[in-house]
Structure 1
Amino acid sequence: MFETDVYAFDYSGFGYSTGTVSERNIYADIRAVFDYIRATRPEKKIVLLGYSIGTAAVADLAASRPEGLVGVVMVAPFTSGLRLFGRKPGEPNTSKLDRFVTYDKVSKIVVPVLVCHGGCDEAIPVEHGLEIVKRAPRAVTPLIIRGADHMSIFNGKYLRTFRRIRK
């Protein structure tokens, strides 16, 4: 269907991975996978896809290491940790305690960015995804799936998600 290679992994402390969950480790994990792909398949064009907390790692990598990238897909992104838990998605943030600050990094991404978000996502409200779209200089029209929530956006019922990513 996609005629592509897919590299998937568990962040430290998630799934079958060992290690400890931390922002630093999550960013190091995606960099290690990216470096492996660039070293073993340098001819490949790379599209980064992140889901939920993975969108923060994708934004961090895409903003700082654009070589070989042709696009970024962010499914259910959030603007930052503090903004997700109690603040408005686009509200300026001055706290040094904030983590996973995707809001600031996405403005430095130089490749096209597609945001996909469930219209009924209660874990990460769709307003976060729309703020990411506003901040990304090369954002394409977002895909907001009415009726989908945080976990169901990839259900077979919502094949539009995969069709849009394929484009």
Structure 2
Amino acid sequence: MPQPLDRIRAAGAPATGPPRFDRQMRKRRIMSILVSIALLIVGVYAILGLTLYFMQPSFLYRPVREVEYDPGDLDLAFERVALPTQDGLKLAAWYVPAAGARYTILFCHGNSGNISHRLDTIHLWNELGFNILVFDYRGYGQSQGQPSEEGTYRDARAAWDWLVRDKHVQPERIIIHGRSLGGAIAANLAAQVEPAGLIVESTFTSYEDLGKEFYPYLPVHWFASFKYRTIDAVRRAACPVLVVHSRNDELVPFEFGRRLFEAADEPKQFVEIDGRHNDGFLFSAETYRRALLDWVGSLDQAAARRARPGG
């Protein structure tokens, strides 16, 4: 005699197990799918993180070897310099004098190009009546070696040592100026020496902080292979500080400039300019030039007060 289950199958109804067993199977299938999705996400996440980790040097340092122009193209007299570093490299640099200069600018440029792409800055400081030394980090332009964080710090120190040792410039007559990545390098140098002042322009608070802005979905703290903690260096700098930043900066948020300013000791000044990350100083040329001259004037006034008896 046919059993009830046989009659159901013969009638075309699907065979099913007990309801509880079916629910458990569905849960297992769902859990298996969710685990597979989670493993896929973790795998993609890890691959992306590792790719960024190993590619960081090429993202951060974007040197150009070909030097296309020099200050002579602007009819400026200049001296070609080979700066010796503490670890035995030679760095390419230009020293551009200005008649009757009261101060010498030691300029640390950004992460891309080379010194031939900084003629606007060289010309500006020269027109304002200041000597300027601009140099290429290792691996940039005609400088030897390959760039690294510690290497860029050594390179800035080599430029400082050359001015003091070879040019016999008094430290209190040197202003260290850094733009973008150069601001982090300039601040690090200012924290080790005693310059007349420090200018930090369009600069991030730290490499990690900037990474979080670009990759908020990644644990940047784990993957960051550079530090460039500008904010710590600014705190240690025992000199007047000028922070310059554009509210329209599309690469380094304006808030980073404000945080650097807040971290600096007095005397300090903040100047807001307009324009994008790479052209703010040109877009806001009049405001920028006036701010530089006014700030340098405040250095002169402070030096005069210190020179007075009991000052």
Instruction: Trace 1:4-153 onto structure 2 (pairs within 5 A).
Output: 4-39=130-165, 40-43=167-170, 45-66=173-194, 69-86=195-212, 97-138=225-266, 140-146=268-274, 148-153=275-280
Q: CA RMSD in A?
A: 2.3
> Are the aligned partners of 2:149 and 2:226 in contact in 1 as well (CA < 8 Å)?
no
Distance 2:292 2:137 in 1: 22
CA change 1:152–1:42 in 2 (3 A) is closer
Alpha-carbon offset, residue 138 of structure 1: 2.2
TM-score normalised by structure 1 residue count: 0.86
Alpha-carbon offset, residue 98 of structure 1: 4.6
2:287 aligned with 1:160 = yes
> Are the aligned partners of 1:133 and 1:139 in contact in 2 as well (CA < 8 Å)?
no
Structure with more of its chain in helix, by fraction: 2
Structure 2 gaps of 5+ residues are 1-126, 214-220, 295-311
> Are the aligned partners of 1:110 and 1:138 in contact in 2 as well (CA < 8 Å)?
no
Alpha-carbon offset, residue 85 of structure 1: 1.2
Alpha-carbon offset, residue 8 of structure 1: 0.6
Q: Secondary structure at the match of 2:290?
A: helix
2:152 alignment partner AA? I
> Are the aligned partners of 1:47 and 1:70 in contact in 2 as well (CA < 8 Å)?
yes
Distance 1:41 1:22 in 2: 29
Identity rate of aligned residues, in percent?
A: 29
Q: Secondary structure at the match of 1:31?
A: helix
Q: Secondary structure at the match of 2:261?
A: helix
Which of 1 and 2 has higher RCO (CA within 8 Å, sep 6+)? 1
Alpha-carbon offset, residue 142 of structure 1: 0.8
1:163 alignment partner AA? R
1:164 alignment partner AA? A
Distance 2:228 2:170 in 1: 30
TM-score normalised by structure 2 residue count: 0.48
Select the structure of larger CA radius of gyration.
2
2:242 alignment partner AA? L
Which portions of structure 1, spanning 4 or more consecutive aligned residues, are displaced by more than 4 angstroms? 94-98
Distance 2:276 2:283 in 1: 13
> Are the aligned partners of 2:137 and 2:147 in contact in 1 as well (CA < 8 Å)?
yes
Alpha-carbon offset, residue 100 of structure 1: 0.4
1:151 alignment partner AA? N
Residues paired across the two proteins, number: 160
> Are the aligned partners of 2:240 and 2:268 in contact in 1 as well (CA < 8 Å)?
yes
Q: Secondary structure at the match of 1:115?
A: strand
Distance 1:131 1:157 in 2: 22
Moved more, 10-19 or 48-57: 10-19
Structure 1 gaps of 5+ residues are 88-93
